Amino acid sequence: MSHHSGTPVVLELQKVGYRPRGADALLSDLTLHVHDGEILVVAGPNGAGKSTLIRLIAGLSEPTGGEMRLGGKPYRDVPITERARIIAYVGQSEESCDRLTVSQYVSLGQLPHHRTGGREASARATDEALALADLTRFAGRRMGEISGGERQRAKIARAVCQRPRILVLDEPTNHLDPLARGELLSLVSGLGITVVAALHDLTLIEAFASHVALIQGGQLIAHGHPVEVLSSERVRAVFSVDMHRMQHPVEARQISVLDIPIEGRFGAATAGETAGPAAPSAPHLHAVATRG
């Protein structure tokens, strides 16, 4: 499973596996590569191994089989300090210190450069990251005083302040409302750097990603462009739901729709109506995302 691009390969995984001591393998014989500038989304059902793969790529865990290469070098031959200047990671459950100001928190991204850059360079990088994430007006506020969406943008800004070549994200849109999800992914896609992200919401992937790695049961089952990988047949087989691509009713673009069955006692009553007896078939929730 491969694809071709005109840009260099920056990340390679060859038959990578991960098996915790005394447990079953979480990843097995996974081979893929990422080109410079690509946005790769890692998708799969719960328990597929998405977060495990993301942690391996971020360098937070080491594979128990196979080899990973960064810029053509084995990971083990890239010093941790150098790796920190290449890869920035934002986890789904990491907590920021509420006592830090937004500016102080974002400036932590400069830690890998503290020996090579000066105070002025660090301040400039912080200001630029704040502006990029539209957080300049919150620079003096405490992290505990801003909204969840703003906190997530601050995490991205801290990663941007690290000046990485590869940004690795684990479920960055978790706990965000629909508009905040779109704004966050728009921010990330506009960075112009290589991105590897685990995403749970299939309807966001086509608008955001250039490529998708679909994993199930710890194995890579498809890797390529979103339209090819996330076919209706494959989504049904892997996620047990139906995904449809439909023409937007007004604009010249398509929208992705997930048809998710919900079995409830209120049937298909619309908002404002009094629910009658349960409908004979389950109603469905339609989750929609626009495609850029």
Its CATH class, for the domain covering 9-231, is: alpha beta
In which band, very low, low, confident or very high, does the pLDDT at 115 lie, cut at 50, 70 and 90?
low
Q: Helix (H, G, I), strand (E, B), or coil: what is residue 219? A: strand
Q: Helix (H, G, I), strand (E, B), or coil: what is residue 31? A: strand
Please, is 262 exposed, middle or buried when counting C-beta atoms within 10 Å of its C-beta (0-12, 13-18, 19+)? Answer: exposed
**Do residues 159 and 133 touch, judged by C-beta distance below 8 A?**
no
Query: 57-106, pLDDT tens digit by residue?
Result: 999 999 999 999 999 999 999 999 899 999 999 998 667 688 899 999 99
Is 149's pLDDT higher than 70? yes
**Do residues 197 and 181 touch, judged by C-beta distance below 8 A?**
no
Is 141's pLDDT higher than 70? yes
In which band, very low, low, confident or very high, does the pLDDT at 119 lie, cut at 50, 70 and 90?
confident
- Counting residues of the chain whose pLDDT is more than 90, the rounded percentage is 73
pLDDT, residue 288, reads: 53
Cite the residue boundaries of each domain of the chain with CATH code 3.40.50.300.
9-231
Is 120's pLDDT higher than 60? yes
Is 281's pLDDT higher than 50? no
Residue with tokens 């194995």: 219
Average pLDDT of the segment spanning 123-132: 94
What is the rounded distance in angstroms from the CA atom of residue 153 to the CA atom of residue 134? 8
* Phi, psi values for residue 185, rounded to 5°: -70, -30
pLDDT, residue 291, reads: 47
pLDDT, residue 279, reads: 44
Is 22's pLDDT higher than 50? yes
- pLDDT, the chain, mean: 88
pLDDT, residue 92, reads: 80
Angstrom distances, CA of residue 189 to CA of 30, 45, 180, 186: 26, 23, 14, 5
* The 87-90 sheet, strands edge to edge: 87-90, 166-170, 194-198, 39-43, 211-216, 219-224
pLDDT, residue 275, reads: 44
pLDDT, residue 262, reads: 86
Average pLDDT of the segment spanning 190-195: 96
Among the residue ranges 110-119, 133-142, 195-204, 275-284, the one predicted with the least confidence is 275-284
**Do residues 195 and 169 touch, judged by C-beta distance below 8 A?**
yes
Is 292's pLDDT higher than 70? no
In which band, very low, low, confident or very high, does the pLDDT at 270 lie, cut at 50, 70 and 90?
very low
Angstrom distances, CA of residue 44 to CA of 212, 216, 237: 10, 6, 11
Average pLDDT of the segment spanning 207-230: 96
pLDDT, residue 5, reads: 60
